[in-house]
Structure 1
């Protein structure tokens, strides 16, 4: 079931997104969170930090699993997703760093590291709330459009347009890694609840296609239509083509 929430300001966007996470933590302090990177969730993370600082929520018993990581970037690289999570959220809350998991982009054997990440996910059990963004080509995590999609964590070659979209975070597109490790579609869809977040008019067409079009591996986000509990959080521009 898809529940679409349209908001009219960044402040509302962040409050709704953080409110969903906070409500979960208040009812289940041991919740498992699936976390995402990129510009869209930054404000949500800031709002969560504020709620923690006010004593309204705690992450002390929480575990987290991030969707993906670039292959070849060290954890302290300015554009690694581990560093992103540390700077935008983890360093400012009471989560135990040992309970935060991000795929290992520097593993000598990335394929083996992907298998290990899948094992950790399976041992942890079901993710209670998975945060997602959506790429302009419909990718979620780094599950790119393809004839077939993988269920579990795996290594993926990034599409040219995905690298181009992420080039704004680097000095040039040539610096954007060519490969990444990502949680698979099967693992994402196993989550109890999913929060898909999108901002801006450039996401309007792909959201319309993903949420109302046919189910197809050429638009990985379309498979969210099969999930029983998805919240779609959008601003007016991104949700412009959604009823």
Structure 2
């Protein structure tokens, strides 16, 4: 696991964009995994700047979303399909038809999850997966207690996650759905390269568990310790509880992500 402590959130964004760009340079048809939320937003904005400047093209790439709320009407501004459209697709030159999310529509969630797994497999798997982490250690919507072998499925959001996400719903926790569909931990671990982005003091405990804690399903993010290629991009606040933070800083200051 490569731990990079950046000087600020803007450097985190540049390093995250470097990781994406390197994969696309190596394979212009790379399959990307996209997370929503505040953590990757600056990365997407930096990618947009590079595309606009002619330094990068995602035109031939495909992408898959990590998760989606259940119960929101089609086109709801906080559905993750709409969020990715605003925060990623419109900023870069990827074909929106090649950005795929779990779409349950009229089918039940179990059939939807199976179909999504089949779509990812048909694309050859995800080459690089961008991840955030919840304050309780969840990745995607795999809440504490999720099996490390879990696959894409319907699940229930923890109340802490709903409270954390209420800021996207006008601070109205009652507007946050209770149910969602999410890639499983096992699905995520099959991606070729995992790039986790965490900024801010609120993520510090989860980061400490990821880097220094035991591997346990009680803290789903610790599953990343079992993956052969993980890059963790942190700012000072997110790294503040790491006992080894100075060692990481000394070893990899100014080392590019990926």
Short-chain TM bin: over 0.9
Instruction: Say if 1:23 and 1:220 are closer, same or farther in 2 by CA, change over 3 A.
Output: same
1:105, distance to aligned residue in structure 2 (A): 5.2
Question: In the alignment, what sits opposite 1:112?
Answer: 111
In the TM superposition, what are the counterparts of 1:79-98 in structure 2 within 5 Å? 79-98=78-97
Residue 222 (str. 1) matches residue 225 (str. 2): no
In structure 2, C-alpha distance between the alignment counterparts of 1:115 and 1:178, rounded to whole Å: 21
> Is residue 136–residue 219 contact of structure 2 (8 Å, CA) maintained in 1?
yes
> Is residue 72–residue 105 contact of structure 1 (8 Å, CA) maintained in 2?
no
Q: Secondary structure at the match of 2:23?
A: helix
Unpaired segments of 5 or more residues in structure 2?
Answer: 245-258
In structure 1, C-alpha distance between the alignment counterparts of 2:141 and 2:147, rounded to whole Å: 14
Unpaired segments of 5 or more residues in structure 1?
Answer: none
- Stretch of structure 1 that moved more, 230-239 or 106-115: 106-115
Instruction: Say if 1:163 and 1:41 are closer, same or farther in 2 by CA, change over 3 A.
Output: same
1:211, distance to aligned residue in structure 2 (A): 2.1
> Is residue 133–residue 198 contact of structure 1 (8 Å, CA) maintained in 2?
yes
In structure 2, C-alpha distance between the alignment counterparts of 1:147 and 1:27, rounded to whole Å: 34
TM-score by length of structure 1 reads 0.95
TM-score by length of structure 2 reads 0.90
Residue 182 (str. 1) matches residue 182 (str. 2): yes
CA RMSD of aligned residues (A): 1.3
Residue 32 (str. 1) matches residue 31 (str. 2): yes
Residue 233 (str. 1) matches residue 215 (str. 2): no
In the TM superposition, what are the counterparts of 1:1-243 in structure 2 within 5 Å? 2-104=1-103, 106-146=105-145, 148-171=147-170, 172-242=172-242, 243=244
Deviations 1:115-170 (A, max 9, x none): 11011111112211100000111100001111635521100111111111101111
Instruction: Say if 1:224 and 1:149 are closer, same or farther in 2 by CA, change over 3 A.
Output: closer
